[in-house]
Amino acid sequence: MVSSLRRSPVSDRTGALCHACSVTDEHAWPGVSYVMPVLNEERYLAGAVATVMAQDYPGERELVLALGPSTDGTDAVAERLAAEDARIRLVPNPGMDIPIGLNLAIAASRHDVVVRVDAHTQIPADYTRLAVRALETSSAANVGGLMLATGDTPLQRAVARGYRSRIGLGGGSYHLGGEAGPTDSAYLGVFRRDALEAVGGYDESLRRGEDWELNYRLRQAGHLVWFDPALQVTYWPRETWPKLARQFHSTGVWRGELVRRIGASNGIRFFVPPALVVAVALSVLVGLATALVALVATVPTWLAVISALLGLAPAAYLVLLLGAVVTTPGSLGDRLRFAGVVAVMHLAWGTGFLQGVVRGAGTNRDTSRSEGGLTA
């Protein structure tokens, strides 16, 4: 069920958004509420909050942190930050799911513009100012920009490259960039509160894909979702192979769940990784069957042809990965890591997708977060 969002009264709310105001004209800009779900983010939280509070936005600002049941020192960091700045407030999120935490934080906030931020991200100083202007000039209900994935270890840098690559995640403008304009979904999001409330906020029955599903409902309600490449967010992806695999498997499971719920409204690109998994699995099974038949009899022509045709799928995929190794800049280690990351992304996501379509998501949870945070 999608929860309803409460809205606290504000005596000095300005109402309309402003796009032609001087940055020194504080009263002409609408107030902004940043909302951040947090779990096990001791390493990243202070840096993420620092970039939020360092915004050059001239209007009123507040940050609401929805604290999940962390097992590291995250709560102590959050309490220290709140004690140092009265604009930072904390709300408990005992269920730890992202949509629930976001709705709790939104309900506890008070301003006309709601900005989703994550503890694994850092936003530049002009992010809010540019986003509010984009909301006004585009008349959109939600504006988002580029996810600039980065890393500070060789593997994390390879994962970041996978996020930014057409053969990695590909597809979405918020990964690859492009011209400003309407889009299906937006990374994180800077929302008009009235539109967010009108569609009921985030769907709390989802554990992944909540951004895409919310933007789908906004578009179904007649609202515009807008991509602006001037909005650029630094994102720190998973930093180990197991975390990467668990994250992408869970994401695939929940995309499969969304296909069960919404069907053809999901873009065609979401069906490519599961098609790859099916093709590889069929190739292996038919190849084994052909080999077993060959041990005891002559392989029928039809079986040999089918086996050869199915073998084209994994062969073509290996050529794709080899091309990634050859064309990717950096050392041989960098190239091999990137090819490995792409394979894990595709196969883990595709396997999860098939599970989600066949059985539904059920209680599936991204367990990489319990070790590394409650972020996208």
Residue 2 has pLDDT above 50, yes or no: no
Q: Is residue 20 part of a domain?
A: no
Whether 215 and 290 map to the same domain: the answer is: no
| Pair 134, 143: CB distance under 8 Å | yes
The predicted structure's pLDDT at residue 165: 87
Share of the chain above pLDDT 90, in %: 71
Do 229 and 273 reside in the same domain of the chain? no
**How many CB atoms are closer than 10 A to CB 181?**
12
Residues 233, 270: one domain? Answer: no
Grouping H, G, I as helix, E, B as strand and the rest as coil, residue 64 is strand
Is residue 294 situated within a structural domain? yes
- Whether 96 maps to a domain, the answer reads yes
Q: What's CA 118's distance to the chain center, in Å?
A: 10
Do 270 and 228 share a structural domain? no
Residue 364 within any structural domain of the chain: yes
User: Rounded to 5 degrees, what are φ and ψ at 157?
Assistant: -65, -35
Instruction: Decide if 249 is inside a domain.
Output: no
Written as one letter, the residue type at 359 is: R
For residues 232 and 270, state if they share a domain: no
**pLDDT tops 90 at residue 9:** no
Q: Are residues 124 and 222 in the same domain?
A: yes
Identify the CA nearest to 116 among candidates 97, 131, 138, 94. Answer: 131
Residues spanned by the domain of 58: 26-237
Task: Specify whether 210 is located in the same domain as 64.
Answer: yes
If asked whether residues 347 and 307 sit together in one domain, one would say: yes
Q: What is the 8-class DSSP label of residue 3? A: P
Domain boundary at 200, 222, 237, which?
237
- The model's confidence at residue 372, banded by pLDDT at 50, 70 and 90, is very low
d(CA 16, CA 313): 54
Whether residue 330 lies inside any domain: the answer is yes
Quick one: average pLDDT of 14-23? 45
Residue 11 has pLDDT above 50, yes or no: no
Q: Residue 42 in 3-state DSSP?
A: coil
Lowest mean pLDDT, pick from 4-13, 158-167, 246-255: 4-13
Kindly list the distances between the CA atom of residue 319 and the CA atoms of 73, 84, 101, 270, 332, in Å, as whole numbers in the listed order: 45, 54, 43, 21, 17
Q: Among 237, 254, 284, where does a domain finish? A: 237
More confident residue, 7 or 324: 324
Say whether both 194 and 318 belong to one domain: no
Tell me, what CATH number does 229's domain have?
3.90.550.10
57 and 180 share one domain: yes
Which pTM was predicted? Answer: 0.83
When pLDDT is cut at 50, 70 and 90, the band that residue 27 belongs to is low
Question: Do 180 and 32 have their domain in common?
Answer: yes
| The pLDDT of residue 83 | 98
pLDDT at 19: 43
Q: How confident is the model at residue 23 (pLDDT cuts 50, 70, 90)?
A: very low
For the chain, the domain total comes to 2
pLDDT mean over 36-58: 95
Is 206 a member of any domain? yes
Pair 203, 325 in one domain: no
Domain-embedded: residue 252: no
Q: Give mean pLDDT, residues 239-267.
A: 91
Q: Residue 370's pLDDT band (boundaries 50, 70, 90)? A: low
